[in-house]
Amino acid sequence: MRPGRKALIEQVLPELSIPLDMPPGTLQPASLFSGPVAETWLEIGFGSGEHLVAQARANPDTGFLGCEPFVSGVAALLAHLPIEDRARTRILADDARLLLDALAPASIGRAFLLFPDPWPKRRHAKRRFVQPHTLDQLARVMRPGSRLRFASDHPVCQHWTLRQVLDHPQFEWTARRPGDFLAPPEDWHGTRYETRSAPGSVSPLFLEFARTGMAVSPSGH
């Protein structure tokens, strides 16, 4: 790692790290920021942080929580995050499911899962982030009416995610015509993983799901 980025990990990351030393389901995101925010958005697996940084710049009244288990990605985000946006940004350098367990109900106004590892082999399906339990977690922490945005250019990941989310009673696919999922949304900010196509990649799909107002139920639906 570059010396400058190592210094950011050592000096800046502790200031922006999300503490998880509270009872499950009680973390209020607004309490993490040093100033008021209108709402809080969550990015799961932010990679090198291009999307999170761009969204923070475009939405100055919004707080951002970003999860990324790879230290190189966290360092890249810190290197590009303007100092003035640090007050509205908090980071978990670990598995996002730990944060989902900690967050209070209906505390997230929007969530992003963009170009995740597809784990394409059948025997690796359980490693994919989108699973019934994870969707239960997301449904609990997202406000009714909030949106989950997913993007992928891998056919296995596309089909798996669409099937899993459509089977979940707390999410509704918002697409009404092909243009709603074949073209990037108007507020789209690209990532390096979007342009780094792996073998077997196809045209990206941009899927948007609304969190419905139904009560959260256990998995097994």
Which sequence positions are flagged as catalytic? 117
Tell how strand 108-114 and strand 142-152 pair up: parallel
Tokens, residue 200: 């077997």
Report d(CA 185, CA 122) in Å as an integer.
30
Report d(CA 24, CA 31) in Å as an integer.
15
The sheet with strand 108-114 has its strands ordered as 89-92, 62-67, 39-44, 108-114, 142-152, 205-211, 171-173
Report d(CA 86, CA 79) in Å as an integer.
11
Instruction: Find where tokens 């967050």 sit.
Output: 103
